[in-house]
Structure 1
Amino acid sequence: MTATATTTMAAPITISAHVPLKFRHEQKHQLSLQEGLVLSARLKRLFALDPHAGHDGSYSVHSLYFDTPYDRALREKIDGVDRREKFRLRYYGMDASFVRLEKKMKRGGLCAKRSTRLSEAMLQELLKGNPACLRESDDPLLLELYSKLQGELLRPVCVVSYEREAFLYPHGNVRITLDRKIQTVAVRHFLHPSPPSLSVLADICVLEVKYDAYLPTIVSMAVQVPGRQAMACSKYALCRRFD
């Protein structure tokens, strides 16, 4: 696997008059579980763990993705469309009382994300298929989702769950994550902490490296795994294969 430093980065792009976005580099690598364990041991000696993680340094992630009736987000991902976006709801751990709406964007190989918290009442109405409550909000992201639920017929299509181990390095604002036990469940089970699930790829680990303008040499060297190179690896696309 090759990770090289770079000193170029696109200027922040403004999606609305009030929300300037900072796009970041993102590298993804698909590893075996054994490779992931070896890499985890190395990273623990070099970098700080995410302070929000549990006692073992990991936490669970649960995401509910939206797509159009013709699966535009999925098709654009598979086709490698340069400018694309997708919406998801997400919460962490076993507590589904704090759920955020996120919009992830890709531009020229860089990524950015906008997010906002959903009230419990809004969340329940949205999951029931009643998005009208979003129309009363003054939050631009909630209003955008409402517009696309109505105009593009976005609807919830897939839940993706996994265990994440995260490491931080301040120089370059680097975040390294190792995702394991990738599973998908029925949309109706999104808020259930332990629903019946289907293991997607039980024998793989997904490595992600995100950073701002440059990737420090120490990180580039630390994430080296012989024979592995950066590749497209979407957990959403993997889980959609089991629709």
Structure 2
Amino acid sequence: MAIPATTISAYAPCTFRHELKHQVNHAEARVLSARLALLFGRDAHAGPDGTYRITSLYFDTPYDEALRQKIEGIDRREKFRLRYYGGAPSFVKLEKKIKQGGLCSKRSARLTLSEARRIIEGDTAFLIESDDPLKVELYSKMRGKLLAPRIATVYDREAYTYAPGNCRITIDRNLRRATPEHFLDAAFSLPVNDGIVVVEVKYDAFLPDIVRMAVQIPNRRHAAYSKYAVCRKFG
């Protein structure tokens, strides 16, 4: 089947945001969590304990292009993933994450659970019939670059927001991994146990001083961390 001339030009312009990551231990994360709770509002989607679960299924080529680009620090790179929140999703998001020069942007499209299952099973013909350019792009790259589901990541997120600068601070714990066929049933996930808690700070044009000071941990600097790359070490 011919692929229509849907290209990146069919998209609206990207909106890029700053993204800083810090790796801390569990004790440091507890201190940081208590501090953030006093200063900022919690994410509205959090459960009673202030967290929610995120499950993502990452795609890569047979030559691990996305993984290699991350490890080699390529300036401009992209990753495709399916993602849902909580334990019993009613829908799944298709996302394309773009990183360029330390900035990040994300495009997304909604999928039904049935559509997500079809993609995982390699039944992608329906994507070409979509009027959403992201779905067509995924089809194109699954056909042209043999992009395919590789591994699922599962973790618990604690999130805070601050309106000035459109800031979002997240603390991600308990990283687990799962095979693609278990993406929609993360009860089959296995712990990674790398002992790392990931703190992310995302903001638009400026980072307010109150946020900058709140996330400071002695002797810790921002550093790259990829949940996908870490989980790929185990499968």
Matched letter for residue 45 of structure 1: L
In the alignment, structure 1 residue 219 sits paired with structure 2 residue 174:
no
Matching residue of 2:193: 201
Matched letter for residue 144 of structure 2: G
Tell me the distance in 2 between the aligned counterparts of 1:119 and 1:98: 5
Residue pair 2:178, 2:186 contacting (<8 A) in 1 also: no
The Cα shift of 1:136 comes to 1.0
Residue pair 2:171, 2:198 contacting (<8 A) in 1 also: yes
Stretches of structure 1 that go unaligned for 5 or more consecutive residues are 1-13
SS in 2 for 1:95: coil
Tell me the distance in 2 between the aligned counterparts of 1:33 and 1:82: 31
Matching residue of 1:166: 159
Query: Which consecutive aligned stretches of 4+ in structure 1 deviate over 4 angstroms post-superposition?
Result: none
RMSD: 1.3
Matching residue of 1:67: 60
Residue pair 2:120, 2:180 contacting (<8 A) in 1 also: no
Stretches of structure 2 that go unaligned for 5 or more consecutive residues are 1-6
Tell me the distance in 2 between the aligned counterparts of 1:201 and 1:16: 42
In the alignment, structure 1 residue 32 sits paired with structure 2 residue 20:
no
Matching residue of 2:4: none
TM-score (norm 1): 0.92
Tell me the distance in 2 between the aligned counterparts of 1:40 and 1:49: 11
Q: How many residues align?
A: 229
The Cα shift of 1:186 comes to 1.5
Matched letter for residue 207 of structure 1: V
Q: Which has the higher helix share?
A: 2
Residue pair 1:181, 1:202 contacting (<8 A) in 2 also: no
Residues 70-109 of structure 1 aligned to structure 2 (within 5 Å) = 70-109=63-102
Residue pair 1:96, 1:193 contacting (<8 A) in 2 also: no
Matching residue of 1:11: none
Matching residue of 1:115: 108
SS in 1 for 2:95: strand
Tell me the distance in 1 between the aligned counterparts of 2:219 and 2:8: 39
List per-residue Cα deviations over 1:188-242 (Å, max 9, x = no partner): 11101422x2211352210000000010000000000001001011111110000
The Cα shift of 1:15 comes to 4.2
SS in 1 for 2:27: helix
Residue pair 2:154, 2:186 contacting (<8 A) in 1 also: no
Residue pair 1:60, 1:164 contacting (<8 A) in 2 also: yes
The Cα shift of 1:135 comes to 0.9
Residue pair 1:65, 1:159 contacting (<8 A) in 2 also: yes
